[in-house]
Chain A
Amino acid sequence: MGRFIARRLLQAIPVFFGATFIVFTMVYAIPGDPIRALNGERPISASAQQALRDRYNLDDTLLVQYGKYVGGIFRGDFGETFRGRPVAEILKEKFPVTARLALGAFIFEVILGLIAGILAGLRRGSFLDNLVLVSTTVVVAIPVFVLGFVAQLVFGLQLRLLPIAGIQHGWVSYVLPSMVLGSLALVYIARLTRTSLVENLRSDYIRTAEAKGLSRPRVVGRHALRNSLIPVVTYMGVDFGTLMGGAIITEGIFNIPGIGREVFLAIQSQEGAVVVGVVTAGILIFILMNMIVDVLYAVLDPRIRLA
């Protein structure tokens, strides 16, 4: 087990550097002068520009800039915005908001997804099964931003049930956005559970168990379900990492001041440090979640562990 984890860690390192370097390059190699963006339509003297460029290492070569940046990361310094605000502070402020949103979406999609998937899988071909299949297909087809607007229109404005923007109303504010954000993953979880369950229910070992006289609930609960959930669990783990990456669109539509929105605004105003900072943090989280899932997977499936 320890060796397994160690191997995973080792494999994660090139992924981390590779991914962050690509992002860094994308952000800093693109044309456009962020110092100029600071001043808007107003002129800026060459001297003032140079001073700011020096301050942010903008004249160093890309590799040097990257090196300095990574060095800073390990000291907990994610750089500064061009206004002088530490990116780490921005991260600390906005991540919890997105985390709450992600958690809400996660809870919503897992609970509803599992229930729908299990019920559908158990009652294959029934009305419920078809209902789940149809509704999930439709939800997948509708783009998330359309879903968001429709949700705002229906729940927020017509029915006036839920807040549709901002986070001033406490946890209720997160309800609608979480549902919208989790909708896609909900579909995947439901379907994956269903298929996986159906697959397992037809397999030999289940048939054997039933032939041996075990009761249906026991068969399903103890054997089929546990094996069926393996791919679902792995998906859930990966999905959580993605959720944390910040759902840019959802946050934009519902005006949630989270990390997704922040990053999108930063891209537009060419605040490279924020973009790279958020993405780097996201990559770290993603790698972490992957490792947890790997371990979980190894725990659940002995063949992996013992290989």
Chain B
Amino acid sequence: MPDRVPTPGNQPADEEELRPEDAMERAASGGIQAESALATAAALEGGPSEYQASLWKDAWRQLRKKPLFLIASSLLIVFILMALFPGLFTDQDPRACDLANSAGKPQEGHWFGFDIQGCDYFTRVVYGTRVSLIIGLLVIGVDVVIAIILGSIAGYYGGFWDGFIARIADIWFALPTVLGGIVFLNALGERGLLQVSFVLIFLQWPTLTRLMRSSVLSGKEMDYVQAARALGASDWRIMRSHILPNGIAPVIVYGTIAVGIIISAEAALSFLGVGLQLPAISWGLMISAAQNRILIHPHLLLFPALFLSILVLSFIILGDALRDALDPRLR
């Protein structure tokens, strides 16, 4: 599918914009993103300026009414609270562990049972929220910033810079980043929050950058932008006032979902043994420790897996809802 529905006045300026990689890239990075890119791009084209100004306001009005959004955001608020103030949810110390209780089943006072070290599992799982949220938000935060900068440059100025950034993204895309991440992490002596986040940043930056690039491209062609340029507005002003506000939409939508992906990725890395290390409390580490015992102590796997899935789910639902709200055509 072309990245825009061709209507008069909106023919692609050059072949570059219709590169198969764009569609592939979008497609490959997730149907969700494809939908959002397609949808948002379609929504943005050819509309009057008032529409853009109220895009976010409209979206908010829509969101407030959607039950899914409300559920997801409530869940997220609960998780954020868990991360910031774990004491609200549990009064036990995650490090007070007695081997005598090793792998104890769920029971009175210890709803999730005990882990292999004999620590209260509910407490451990609650404390695990912090690490997941921090890494997810930090990584995507950085990725979004990178995407905005590089994507704008590539989309707005085109030409050499566009090609250059595109090639680098290509190379990165060709790399099995998961493997590369594992190789890199495996060699590090210390794998803390920062090191793991650093590696995860590289996972999603090409996707987000490409997204930003295409929406800058679409935005660039708008009549009112041409008008602003004719009137002598500087590049910076045009970007800031006209292109960015709406161009960011698909990035935000995908970014929200990507937080979920990153949280999942960190858990996967920790599970493989190349993510966070002791004494970090991470769901991935918990699942990894549980894997030899899923038959005899299934609760060890169940509870962190549940929390992990629900957190990721919340982000995805949130992203979905955002996308729906930002695009009137898919309603």
Contacts and interface: CB of A to CB of B under 8 A. Distances in A.
A279 B291 contact: no
A282 B2 CA distance: 29
A145 B174 contact: no
B175 interface: yes
Interface string B20-48: 10011011101110110011001000000
B180 A303 contact: no
Contact of A19 (B42, B174, B184, B294): B174
A26 to B, nearest CB: 5
B24 A146 contact: no
Interface majority SS (helix, strand, loop, mixed), chain A: helix
B33 to A, nearest CB: 9
Interface in B150-179: 167, 170-171, 174-176, 178-179
A59 interface: no
B298 interface: yes
Nearest to A278: B179
Contact of A14 (B28, B171, B294): B171
A32 interface: yes
A19 B175 contact: yes
A31 B187 contact: yes
Interface string A277-307: 0110011001100100110011001011001
A22 B309 contact: no
Contacts of B298: 153
A279 B170 contact: no
A203 interface: yes
A31 B189 CA distance: 9
A190 interface: yes
A245 interface: yes
A9 interface: no
Interface stretch (B83-91, B244-252, B266-274): B266-274
B39 to A, nearest CB: 8
B301 interface: yes
Interface in B98-122: none
Interface in A87-114: none
A30 B184 contact: yes
A239 interface: yes
A249 B316 CA distance: 22
B268 A249 contact: yes
A62 B188 CA distance: 19
B134 interface: no
A140 B314 CA distance: 11
A298 B272 contact: no
A140 B1 contact: no
A15 B31 CA distance: 25
A23 B309 contact: no
Contacts of A22: 171, 175, 180
Interface residues of B, number: 56
Nearest to A293: B24
Contacts of A15: 167, 170-171, 174
B28 A149 contact: no
A195 B183 contact: no
A157 B296 CA distance: 12
Contacts of B309: 138, 141-143, 146
- Which of B24, B26, B31, B312 gathers most chain A CB within 10 Å? B31
Contact of B1 (A146, A149, A196): A196
Contact of A137 (B18, B308, B320): B320
A279 B176 contact: yes
Interface in B199-258: none
Contacts of B24: 234-235, 237-238, 290, 293, 297
B264 interface: yes
A150 to B, nearest CB: 8
B182 A264 contact: yes
Contact of B272 (A198, A203, A248, A275): A248
Contact of B294 (A144, A152, A242, A268): A152
A92 B77 CA distance: 51
B13 to A, nearest CB: 11
Given A142-B309, A198-B330, A267 B186 contact: yes
Nearest to B312: A141
Contacts of A141: 260, 264, 309-310, 312-313, 316
The 6 residue pairs across chains A and B that have the minimum distance between CB atoms: A192-B31, A30-B187, A191-B31, A235-B27, A141-B313, A18-B171
Interface of B: 1-2, 5, 15, 18, 20, 23-24, 26-28, 30-32, 34-35, 38-39, 42, 167, 170-171, 174-176, 178-180, 182-184, 186-187, 260, 264, 267-268, 271-272, 287, 291, 294-295, 298, 301, 305, 308-310, 312-313, 316-317, 320, 329-330
13 contacts: A23-B175, A30-B187, A138-B313, A141-B309, A142-B312, A153-B294, A187-B31, A203-B5, A245-B179, A263-B179, A282-B176, A297-B20, A307-B15
